[in-house]
Structures are given as C-alpha cells and as structure tokens.
C-alpha cells in the first residue's frame, strides 16, 4: 500500500504532466502527445520513492520538478509558455542566446531529454551573495547549482516560486570564458525575465538556486 507521501508525490507528478500538456509541450517538441508522454511516464515510478523537502514557497523549497531539456523544447519556446501574475515571461540575454550557455563540467545531467530534479532550494540563504561566493556554499552543502533548463522548468510548474525579493541565479549554465551568469527575475514591468548578471556582483533580491540530485 502506498504511503500518504507517495500518493502526494504521484499526484504532484500528474499535475506537472498536465501542465506540460496544457502548455502544448508535445507540439513544441514536434511530437504527438503519446510520443511526448513516452519520455515522461518512466519517471512516475521514481517519484513514489523520493525523499525530499516538502513544498514551501515562502522558504523556496520544492520536492521535485520535471525538467524538459532545451534540446527537446527550446528555451525561448518554453519561456513563451510561462505566465506570472498574468504577464508573459521574456528572454533577454544579449549579446548571447540561451543555447550559448552550456552546463558546467562539475554538473552531471541525465542523458534523457526529460528527467526529475530533486529537492530544490531557491537560495534564500545566499541572497545578496555574488554567484562566485554562493557557489562555494552550494558545493560545501553537497548540493548542485541549476542550469537554465532547470530554472525554466521550475517557473513553468510553479510561477509563484519566483518572488520579487528572492529571484534566483542559475550557476550551472555558463558561456565559456565569460563572467555572465544566467538568472530569472521579475523585471521593472513585472515580467518574469531570463537574463544574466555578472558572477562577481551581489544583489539584495537575488539568490542562487540548487538541488540535491537529478534522476531519470
């Protein structure tokens, strides 16, 4: 018999799948709904046994999120499907494009186009720390910084995870030899924005998000 927690995990998994279907992810991936779901359904059995923090938006904690890699659905297509308080998300990463930022060597991602990111922390404890300093704390805690794909996945499923006074950097995606660090925040016109900040600059409203593991 499944425990109450396992049941809750499966219900949350089903909710996230429904969100992806509602946002036309199969179409964005140029697949039928059935073809798209084939990549996701194997993850259902995994969520039953997950041990992770409970959802707490104020503290910035989530048990898991389904991540769809940008090689499957591009970052710009995914961002265009996100709304926060009725405002569409935007992408402003000039002079680069989202695909220019690659996962850092220290981060190992599943080979599958869809996977689970487990035990997520928005970075409330490292607000106002420069990304370079926040990275040290994340590594010391045996956690992993997040990629652009993972940040986009979070606000796709939980737009309200993005808070005005605690937006978050994505330290695991970098452009080689560049000091820019991707981040998602609420801009002056109150749109969710995927952009970048400098790796040595702290911001009073910006933390650095992390997770414990990734599974597929």
Least confident residue range of 10-24, 51-65, 195-209: 51-65
Q: How confident is the model at residue 1 (pLDDT cuts 50, 70, 90)?
A: very low
pLDDT at position 53 is 80
Q: What pTM was computed for the model?
A: 0.96
The CA R_g of the chain, rounded to the nearest whole Å, is 16
In this predicted structure, what is the pLDDT of residue 2? 58
Instruction: Please say if the pLDDT value at position 137 is more than 90.
Output: yes
Which of 117, 143, 118, 115 shows the shortest CA–CA distance to 208? 143
Rounded to whole angstroms, how far apart are CA atoms 119 and 3? 19
CA–CA separation, 178 and 159 (whole Å): 29
Q: Give the pLDDT confidence of 138-159 residue by residue, as tens digits.
A: 999 999 999 999 999 999 999 9
pLDDT of residue 69: 98
- Residues 172 and 101 sit within 8 Å (Cβ to Cβ): no
Report pLDDT digits (tens) over 44-94: 999 988 888 889 989 999 999 999 999 999 999 999 999 999 999 999 999
More confident position, 1 or 56 = 56
* Burial (CB count within 10 angstroms: exposed 0-12, middle 13-18, buried 19+), residue 18: exposed
**pLDDT above 80 for 164:** yes
**Are 111 and 216 contacting, i.e. CB atoms less than 8 angstroms apart?**
yes
Residue pLDDT, tens place only, 116-131: 999 999 999 999 999 9
Q: Where are the chain's structural domains? A: 4-215
């Amino acid at each position: 018999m499944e425990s109450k927690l396992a049941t809750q995990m499966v219900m949350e998994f089903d909710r996230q799948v429904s969100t992806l279907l509602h946002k036309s992810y199969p179409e964005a991936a140029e697949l039928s709904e059935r073809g798209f779901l084939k990549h996701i359904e194997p993850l259902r059995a995994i969520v039953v046994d997950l041990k992770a923090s409970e959802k707490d938006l104020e503290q910035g904690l989530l048990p898991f999120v389904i991540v769809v890699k940008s090689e499957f659905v591009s970052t710009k297509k995914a961002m265009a499907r996100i709304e926060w308080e009725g405002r569409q998300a935007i992408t402003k990463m000039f002079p680069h494009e989202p695909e220019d930022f690659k996962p850092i060597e220290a981060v190992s991602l599943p080979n599958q186009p869809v996977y689970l990111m487990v035990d997520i922390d928005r970075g409330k404890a490292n607000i106002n720390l420069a990304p370079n300093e926040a990275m040290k704390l994340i590594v010391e805690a045996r956690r992993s910084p997040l990629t652009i794909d993972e940040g986009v996945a979070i606000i796709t499923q939980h737009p309200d995870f993005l808070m005005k006074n605690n937006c978050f950097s994505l330290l695991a995606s970098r452009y080689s030899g560049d000091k820019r660090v991707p981040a998602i925040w609420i801009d002056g016109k109150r749109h969710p924005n995927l952009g970048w900040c400098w790796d040595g600059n702290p911001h009073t409203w910006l933390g650095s998000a992390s997770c414990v593991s990734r599974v597929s």
